[in-house]
Amino acid sequence: MNGARRPQPAAPPDLEGWLARLEAAHPTAIDLGLERVAAVGLRLGVLAPAARVVTVGGTNGKGSVARTLEALLRGLGVSTALYTSPHFQRFNERMRLDGVEVADAPLVKALGRVEEARGDADVSLTYFEHTTLAAFDLFARSGARVWILEVGLGGRLDAVNAIDADVAVVTRIARDHAEFLGDDLQAIAAEKAGIFRKGRPAVIGQQDAPAALRQSALEVGAEVAQAGVEWTFSAEADGRWWWRCGEYHWGGLPASGIPGCAARGNVATALAALVQLPEAVGVDAAAVARLLDGVRVPGRLERIEAGSLEWLLDVAHNADGAEELARVLDDRTVTGQTRALFAVAARKDARALVAALSGRIDAWYLPQLDEPDMRNADELASQLADAGESVVHCGDGVATTLAALQGQAGPGDRVVVFGSFRTVAAVQAQQGWG
């Protein structure tokens, strides 16, 4: 910086214009590091919020834990600010105040304030960094009592980590984003543990987490609360379940709106985060059961009944997520066939996802999404054929693929949509479920 501020282009008039500008503003889409965010955040005055901050990291389950914690706190009358990513249909989904998406107008103003501070700092920001700072700015102005922030990628160097969390949560650790995090689980765990802080709760949602996760938390001096050690949960005979941590013992809890063991683990992890906050004092089992009964998380093992078909929408895009999806399919049998609509990013291990669902899919439908980094549908069909799977439709757009699927499906059939956020989003949009 030379002290003379560079001239800035005129601010875009609307959210669409801002997002288009931000997509092209930085040399790379992902550029991990906290220096730029800290420089701009300090000028905005948003890095030491008066609110309590819960940061949620991990490989799988982050969004589910964050949304569940939001629902629990709101049910207790606590004002919340929630930041998650990516979105399905609208960018505004990423920022919620008391359960309501932030409207375009205040979001545009926040993006402008970040741009002003960025110009003063004379640094470049990625799309994610700029929009994360806009979320911080909006949340600080809202007066929300608890912020819930979902990590974008990794943990230690993610923009969200520019704020010290009062409670840090790491859900499950699995292999994903190898181009940034590598494929060694211990190293991935250590990177995600970078959100832990000395003297503050570190909630670990995985009982068999890589040892480096708990070790890193202890080394930094965090107060560790790990599944199977400091807190635990288990199913009851009638399908309900109980959860216990120290003085808290809550039984008769309902299965949330999300099926599967991992889903219950995500809810249990949200409870473990909740009890670290003073807002949880005095909450009893009946209140928790009431609050959990209405929890829904879009696109995460989301079940939709439409006509004679059962749809299961899931953003599973790595082997760990696909294995949980397979367990849900095993637990929830149907009278008809199970059909899969599947599209996945080119950088993902598609063979591992297919292998996880081996023998569970009767017919595969492979649309070609209009996205440059999605795997070619013909290439995917070849991989499925090598695995002995039956591909019945390949290479058309989502609308044509869905029409073919629905034309061939019969009563009692199940349709599984998975592979990426964009796959689920495309089907949501086409079906009017967004």
Maximum Cα–Cα distance across the chain? 71
For residue 415, give the H/E element and its range.
strand 414-418
Label residues 155-168 b or e (16+ Cβ within 10 Å = b). bbbbbbbbbebbbb
pTM of this prediction?
A: 0.94
pLDDT at 35: 95
Nearest to 96 by CA among 47, 63, 49, 126: 63
**What's the sign of the alpha-carbon dihedral 300, 155, 139, 103?**
negative
Domain segments of the chain: what residues?
A: 15-292, 302-431
Mean per-residue pLDDT over the chain, rounded? 93
**pLDDT of 408 above 50:** yes
Burial class (CB in 10 A: 0-12, 13-18, 19+), 109: middle
Phi, psi dihedrals of residue 149, rounded to the nearest 5°: -120, 120
pLDDT at 1: 45
**pLDDT of 178 above 70:** no
pLDDT at 27: 73
Phi, psi dihedrals of residue 369, rounded to the nearest 5°: -70, 145
Query: CATH number of the domain at 302-431, please?
Result: 3.90.190.20
The matching CATH number, chosen from 3.40.50.720, 3.40.1190.10, 3.40.50.300, 3.40.50.1100, for 15-292 is: 3.40.1190.10
Query: 24-41 pLDDT, tens per residue?
Result: 887 777 788 899 999 999
3-state secondary structure of 214: helix
pLDDT at 205: 97
Query: 34-79 pLDDT, tens per residue?
Result: 999 999 999 999 999 999 999 999 999 999 999 999 999 999 999 9
Quickly count: other Cβ atoms within 10 Å of residue 269's Cβ: 30
**pLDDT of 386 above 80:** yes
**pLDDT of 183 above 90:** no
Are the folds of 15-292 and 302-431 the same? no
